[in-house]
Structure 1
Amino acid sequence: MPEVLEYRDTVRPEWIDYNGHLSEPFYVMVFGFATDHLMAATGMGETYRAETGCSLYTVEAHVRYLKEVGPDADLLVTTTVLSVGAKKVRLCHELVVGGEVVATEELLAVHVAEARAAPFPDAVADRLRDHLAPAPGYAGRAIS
């Protein structure tokens, strides 16, 4: 059974737009925090970057906004890894509020060293694989 990562946050007043809902860029920011959480959990956190100069760069993202999110909402982002290659990882985040998925983000990220694609260390790749799960039905879709 894959280990699903969880990142939690709360909507802050400055994230609310003039319609009274979570503004579009803040969904992506919260998903970014969840990616940071994945990186830390798999050995690619701040210390890793400081010691190796390596990190993950997002090269493609697909966000689906499914429901509006109001002020002060408690946010839960679950993260699963869909695939791990020599230099890249594909993952999905699901943003949940009150038990309901309100947004999703599918990412393709590349492991980089000195701004060039570089292989994952074996230990990092193994930890990423601990989070492997089947792709949800929406993953891999193009915008139509």
Structure 2
Amino acid sequence: MTTALPLFRQTVRDEWIDYNGHLSEAYYVLVFGFATDALMAEAGLDDAYRKRSGCSLYTVEAHVRYLDEVARGSELTVRTTVLGADAKKVRFAHEMFTGEPDGAPVATEELFALHVDQGTGRSAPLPQTAQRTLGGLVAPAPDWAGRGIRAV
């Protein structure tokens, strides 16, 4: 049985607005980064864990889709889904919505992360508790996950 992660919420700040009057592309990724931090904390891989163990999740691949413009002051909600986890790797997806997550997302991000020993710079096994937590969160992938950029 899977358990759902709590939704991550963030308000668009004025300084995140670009010259077109909408959320700048870098800030979509920033908000997704905050949602990744929330996932890590949920799995016990928070700052205290990093300081104690010298290990952390490192993003090694990401695919972002910008689907709609986001206005100044919008209330964003990010839903995170763990798509897979094993001893050293985690694959997950974020879906960003304005307001509640009951319509179409304004952006998505799929990520592949490795658990890395920062001292050696090499992958290392996740703690058993984190493996169990992440494994218990695995859910079916959204239909857009696993796709690359199409050639023109």
Give the TM bin, normalised by the shorter chain.
over 0.9
In structure 2, list runs of 5 or more residues that go unmatched.
none
User: Alpha-carbon deviation of 1:5?
Assistant: 3.0
Tell whether the 8 Å contact from 1:3 to 1:130 is kept in structure 2 after alignment: no
Q: Does 1:141 align with 2:142?
A: no
What does the per-residue CA deviation read over 1:92-120, in whole Å, with 9 as the maximum and x for residues that have no partner? 00001134310000000000112210111
CA distance in 1, matches of 2:6, 2:81: 7
The amino acid across from 1:132 in the alignment is V
The aligned residue for residue 39 of structure 1 is 40
Q: Does 1:132 align with 2:138?
A: yes
The amino acid across from 1:97 in the alignment is T
Tell whether the 8 Å contact from 2:7 to 2:78 is kept in structure 1 after alignment: yes
- Percent same amino acid at aligned positions? 57
What is the TM-score with the length of structure 1 in the denominator?
0.97
The aligned residue for residue 60 of structure 1 is 61
User: Alpha-carbon deviation of 1:142?
Assistant: 1.0
Higher strand share: 1
What is the TM-score with the length of structure 2 in the denominator?
0.92
Tell whether the 8 Å contact from 2:32 to 2:78 is kept in structure 1 after alignment: yes
What is the aligned-residue RMSD (CA, Å)? 0.9
The amino acid across from 1:28 in the alignment is V
The aligned residue for residue 111 of structure 2 is 107
Q: Tell me how many residue pairs correspond in the alignment.
A: 144
User: Alpha-carbon deviation of 1:130?
Assistant: 2.2
Tell whether the 8 Å contact from 2:86 to 2:135 is kept in structure 1 after alignment: no
The aligned residue for residue 29 of structure 1 is 30
Deviating 4+ runs (over 4 angstroms): none
